[in-house]
Amino acid sequence: MILDATDKKLLVLLQTDSKKTTKELSLKLDLSVTAVYERIKKLEREGIIKNYVALVDKSKIEKGFVVFCHLKLIQHTKEFLTKFESEVIKLNEVLECHHVSGDYDYILKVLVKDMEAYREFLVTKLTSLQHIGSTQSMFMISEVKNSTVISF
């Protein structure tokens, strides 16, 4: 699907606030409510819009300690990579896991209550996964930018 300027503007509006009604969106886009509704449905059908979520303030739920954990596996066979990925997906503390190039194989974004909770996670969960050679943890000092909006 090729996105036109209206689709792109609609996507930015939905990413900014997906609770806006089709009527509110139609006024911003200068389209009919039906046209906006049909565009949204098409974007959903095409898989461009994957999901709708509520963004939670992590500090208000006592999960404000963010750690970026770099992992190196002991081997890089398909079997080891697949096994590690299937296990790390199950860890609730891991918000993101990226297979990367460079000195490390994976970067994890981990969210926990505090340093003590991270230590517990590291010792009881993460390092118990098979095939991990080494880890390096970096702790977030402050969040400068955190956006979920993809611009066009």
- pLDDT the model gives residue 1: 87
CATH number, domain 56-137, options 3.30.70.270, 3.30.70.920, 3.40.50.12780, 3.40.50.11900: 3.30.70.920
Domain(s) of CATH 1.10.10.10: residues in the chain: 3-44
Contacts of 58 (CB under 8 A, 6+ apart): 64, 66, 111
pLDDT mean over 31-49: 98
Mean pLDDT within 95-116: 97
Residues in the chain: 152
Task: Please tell me the distance from the alpha carbon of residue 36 to that of residue 6, in angstroms, as a whole number.
Answer: 10
Q: For residue 76, name the pLDDT band (cuts at 50, 70, 90).
A: confident
Give just the sign of the alpha carbon dihedral 55, 142, 151, 96: negative
Q: Residue 130: its pLDDT value, please?
A: 86
CA distance 65 to 118: 8
Residue type, 80: F
Mean pLDDT of the chain: 96
